[in-house]
Structure 1
Amino acid sequence: MFGGDGPESDGIVGDVDTDVLFCGTDLAARIERAETQLIVAATHAAAGRGADVLAVPVAGGYACFAEPHSPLNKVVGLGFDGVPDTALLGEVEHMMAGRGAATQVELSTLADPAIAAMLTARGYHVTGFEDILGRVPNGDEQSVPGVEVRRADDLAAWVDVVVEGFAHPDGVGVPTHEEFPRDVIERVERDMEKAGATAYVALCDGVVAGGGSARFADGIAQLTGAATAPAYRRRGVQTALLATRLADAAAAGCDIAVVTTSPGSQSQQNVQRRGFQLLYTRAVLVKPLV
């Protein structure tokens, strides 16, 4: 919460004049735990449809594999519960390689620096970055004229518009380090919904123009999977999706809402216009297959 009289363990500090958020290691650890829980739950959802998955605890985080070429294939949540055991990390690398996947680690800039040193010594190299932004949801969001946002009652339409949006990036900012097959993204979106993410669609003139999702847990609102169909961009669809999900986050009692973006992207500009501030960055480190 904002102000100096809130519990320090929240890790959220605001200035009464500038409303600047400060993210310390406590808040970063909360956010990384929430991210880990979501990725693990989505991986288990993939197992429910018959995928040969991997979900192994690693020093407070998890190494996950859902299926070939999936964005769920990574090690998440490291950095806030000690340095990984080298033998266990070697086993994870071996299991990933056995599934035809490089080992990818997403590591917060607020994580224990010894982990980055350990990974680079093992042959990992940085392939990209992603920014984590946050703001306090206060429930006073304004609607966008001409755009109606509601919880999705047709998951097929929601998946279709999100996948279509992801297939046509806006081309702003740093080029993404990742590309995924369309059918894999379709399955991942459904797995995320089964993992507890609530699906939302935005409509313009009754037509589904965009979609997004949100997971509310442990006081954190994770705003995920937002995309707009190319024909409906620059009409406030993302702003409307943000407003509704932030209002629902406030109603759910969340003290922080977070979103992950590519550095310098249109998505980052959109959320910063809605009051989101940069909390920290994750470095994406990969150990290639040999």
Structure 2
Amino acid sequence: MAAIFITPQLAQRLERAEAQHLARQVETYAELYPGQRARTIAIAGGMAALTIGAFGRKLNHVTGFGLGASASLDELAALEAAYAAHGLATEIDVCPYADAEALKLLAARGYSVNAFSNTYIKSLDDAGAAFHPASGVEIVHVTAENAAEFFNACVAGFSVQMQQRPLALLEALARIAMARSDTRLYLAIVDGNVAGSAGLGLIEPEGTAVAHLYIASTLPAYRGRGIQQALLQARLLDAQREGFALASITARPSNVSARNALRAGFELAYTKSTFVRPLHNAVQG
């Protein structure tokens, strides 16, 4: 398979899809948990997510910043104040194709880079040829009958990670995925037991479709047995059958999700920098 050439237009397509994915997470959370003041804010061509402070950056960050639009110092200061009201620093993910003016704006407000994330992509033209499920792994779709199994497996899989997250966040993420109309959910079955779970977001922002693979986890007893590869390939096939030509995954560099994506034939599109303005700076203005 020939490498995909990344253009500014393709980067904008991927960033719009990720912003749409984040917005739908927040919107669904607001529907499931009314009264939490969860909301999204459009800024500089991107999307800011605000939920509750205990969730950290997972549902409280900005993506797509600086692509196709600009922001003022006042708009950015207002966003910082909104995050500060939740007890959070402002975290903004910026892709390499963002406008230079966006970087100047962040510099003027005292931001610095503290982390990176990778966007991986795969053409679905050859997804069928790449489908080789692990021996002994059965992939099934989640329905009303096995929804509770998905919820339990999703939470349990993410509960045992190097970076521990609050149980309330893990439960919220599982319920959000289950409630989204644009998401298909999957279970991996080994010897009649649930071994892993995953989701596929079929996202069509402004007519540019991207199949976004997310919320994948494996139960500790089944790790190292090809569970995630089987879940990846099943989702790629489904996306291809739905007419999607491009799939994406977002992951921190060198983590398990990143390695699984590369093994499944994804390629690195670009690395995004996470710009952060500390909370005490936001309070001081």
Displacement of 1:223 after TM fit? 0.3
- Find the counterpart in structure 2 of residue 75 from structure 1: 62
- Find the counterpart in structure 1 of residue 153 from structure 2: 161
CA 1:29–1:143 in 2, change beyond 3 Å: closer, same or farther? same
Displacement of 1:255 after TM fit? 1.1
**CA deviation vs aligned residue, 1:130-149 (integer Å, no higher than 9, x gap):** 11111112341222211111
Q: Distance in 1 between matches of 2:22 and 2:257?
A: 21
Q: Please give the secondary structure, in 2, of the residue aligned with 1:19.
A: coil
Unaligned runs of 5+ in 2: 281-285
Q: Distance in 2 between matches of 1:264 and 1:125?
A: 22
- Find the counterpart in structure 1 of residue 47 from structure 2: 62
- Find the counterpart in structure 1 of residue 283 from structure 2: none
Displacement of 1:253 after TM fit? 0.8
Q: Distance in 1 between matches of 2:147 and 2:51?
A: 21
- Residue type of the alignment partner of 1:166: F
Q: Please give the secondary structure, in 2, of the residue aligned with 1:129.
A: strand
- Find the counterpart in structure 1 of residue 140 from structure 2: 150
Indicate conservation of the 8 Å contact 1:222/1:257, yes or no: yes
- Find the counterpart in structure 1 of residue 109 from structure 2: 122
Indicate conservation of the 8 Å contact 1:131/1:263, yes or no: yes
Indicate conservation of the 8 Å contact 1:130/1:260, yes or no: yes
CA RMSD of aligned residues (A): 1.7
Q: Please give the secondary structure, in 1, of the residue aligned with 2:71.
A: coil
- Find the counterpart in structure 2 of residue 202 from structure 1: 188
- Select 1:273's aligned residue among 244, 263, 268: 263
Matched, 1:217 2:209: no
Q: Distance in 1 between matches of 2:268 and 2:275?
A: 21
Q: Please give the secondary structure, in 2, of the residue aligned with 1:80.
A: coil
What is the correspondence of 1:1-290 to structure 2 with a 5 Å cutoff?
Answer: 19-48=2-31, 49-50=33-34, 51-70=36-55, 71-137=58-124, 138-140=126-128, 141-153=131-143, 154-169=146-161, 179-195=164-180, 196-218=182-204, 219-290=209-280
Indicate conservation of the 8 Å contact 1:110/1:280, yes or no: no
Displacement of 1:37 after TM fit? 1.1
- Find the counterpart in structure 2 of residue 6 from structure 1: none
Q: Please give the secondary structure, in 1, of the residue aligned with 2:53.
A: coil
**Percentage of pairs with the same residue:** 32
TM, length-normalised to structure 2: 0.88
- Residue type of the alignment partner of 2:23: V
Q: Distance in 1 between matches of 2:185 and 2:68?
A: 32
**Of 240-249 and 136-145, the range deviating more from structure 2:** 136-145
Q: Distance in 2 between matches of 1:22 and 1:229?
A: 36
- Residue type of the alignment partner of 2:231: L
Q: Distance in 1 between matches of 2:119 and 2:4?
A: 12
Q: Distance in 1 between matches of 2:42 and 2:102?
A: 16
Indicate conservation of the 8 Å contact 2:21/2:203, yes or no: no
TM, length-normalised to structure 1: 0.86
- Residue type of the alignment partner of 2:26: T
Displacement of 1:181 after TM fit? 0.7
- Residue type of the alignment partner of 2:20: Q
Displacement of 1:192 after TM fit? 3.2
Structure having the larger proportion of residues in helix: 2
Q: How many residues align?
A: 266
- Residue type of the alignment partner of 2:74: A
- Residue type of the alignment partner of 2:112: H
